[in-house]
Amino acid sequence: MSMSRHEASTGEQSRMLSRENKVTITSGLSPSYLQANLIILPSRYASDFRRFCQRNPVPSPLLAESSQRGSPFGWKSYIQGIPDSAVAANCDIRTDVPRYVVYRDGVPIHESQDLLEEWTDDHIAFLLGCSMSFESALTRAGLEPRHTTLDINNPMYITNIPTNPAGVFTGGTYIVSMRPYRRSELDRVRKTTRPYVLTHGEPIAWGWDGMARLGITDIDQPNWGDPPRARWGGKFSEAQGLTGEDDDIPVFWGCGVTPQQAVITAKVPGIILAHAPGHMLVLDVKEDDVLEKD
């Protein structure tokens, strides 16, 4: 197959490109298809992890898990109205994400383009909603995210907001993604993303006071993704291709990298596998399938 990044229009096409290692970050891939965060755990942690998601649905909205322990094929769906077979057909979770992180005893030890070596018959994979999945909706509302416009990766930050502990998953904090918007756009941004409850929903904080409450000290130094390009009080100029009269403020959403942070802070023993931030599994489910009506 010689399909290029911008020719992938379905979730399955994007998974094939990932399997063949023809893509890196998935932002903008197969627009309107749901993208998912991934974490793969030894089965003894599965019960605690489901509770972790139940207790932290904003950063960790559970979409699906492996059809059975040890099988890299097939999904059990937690999305209302989506049968198991409609999550991601012909998917091999060991290969269909562009880049993975391998953790041993809570420490990231290496990154990999597949998990053919690391996957065992005791692993269970979990898929979590991703905020990239409401970006089509933002774009339709005239609120295209800056990183989409500029074709860069979304910045992500570690916060000091504790997640609710569940079993072994103690001591974690929220990870957030950030998109810059004008203050005058905030109400529409909140309203547009609010119904996407399975992909983090509305923002959890905004503005410089909101950033301070999250414990983020330098907006220009994200922990993952590309540094933001924004009109922070005139700091960035029109020379960078950004024009407009109003300053931007940072707007923060829960991020599905949060469970990885929980694994790190709790030093969870064993081999745990996850997607590399920004490198998602693209599903067959469409964004509108998870839109919750008021």
Binding site for a copy of itself (CB under 8 A): 47, 51, 54-55, 57-58, 161-162, 164-167, 194, 197, 201-205, 213, 254, 294
- 């990870």: which residue's tokens? 175
- Measure the CA–CA gap between 185 and 199, rounded to whole angstroms: 20
Residue closer to a copy of itself by CB (options 153, 163) is: 163
- Measure the CA–CA gap between 175 and 172, rounded to whole angstroms: 9
- Measure the CA–CA gap between 134 and 61, rounded to whole angstroms: 14
Residue closer to a copy of itself by CB (options 81, 234) is: 81
Q: Kindly give the residue spans of alpha helices, DSSP state H, lying in 118-185.
A: 135-140, 146-150
Tell the smallest beta-carbon distance from residue 187 to a copy of itself (Å).
11
Tell the smallest beta-carbon distance from residue 24 to a copy of itself (Å).
31
Is there a contact between 252 and 202 (Cβ–Cβ < 8 Å)?
no
Residue closer to a copy of itself by CB (options 89, 212) is: 212
> For the CA atoms of 283, 285, 287, 292, what is the dihedral angle to 10 degrees?
-130
- CB 1: neighbour CB atoms within 10 A? 9
Residue closer to a copy of itself by CB (options 185, 284) is: 185
- Measure the CA–CA gap between 279 and 287, rounded to whole angstroms: 18
Is there a contact between 228 and 157 (Cβ–Cβ < 8 Å)?
no
Tell the smallest beta-carbon distance from residue 58 to a copy of itself (Å).
5
Tell the smallest beta-carbon distance from residue 23 to a copy of itself (Å).
32
Tell the smallest beta-carbon distance from residue 222 to a copy of itself (Å).
20
Residue closer to a copy of itself by CB (options 209, 245) is: 209
Computed from CA positions of residues 54, 37, 131, 249, in that sequence, does the dihedral angle turn out positive or negative? positive
- CB 221: neighbour CB atoms within 10 A? 11
Across the chain, the runs of DSSP E, i.e. the strands, are 33-42, 62-66, 75-77, 100-104, 107-112, 123-129, 156-162, 173-182, 205-206, 248-254, 271-275, 281-286
Can you state the angle between helices 46-55 and 258-265, rounded to 10 degrees? Answer: 120
Residue closer to a copy of itself by CB (options 34, 198) is: 198
Q: Give the residue among 162, 171, 251, 165 at the shortest CA–CA distance from 204.
A: 251
Residue closer to a copy of itself by CB (options 171, 233) is: 171
Residue closer to a copy of itself by CB (options 172, 225) is: 172
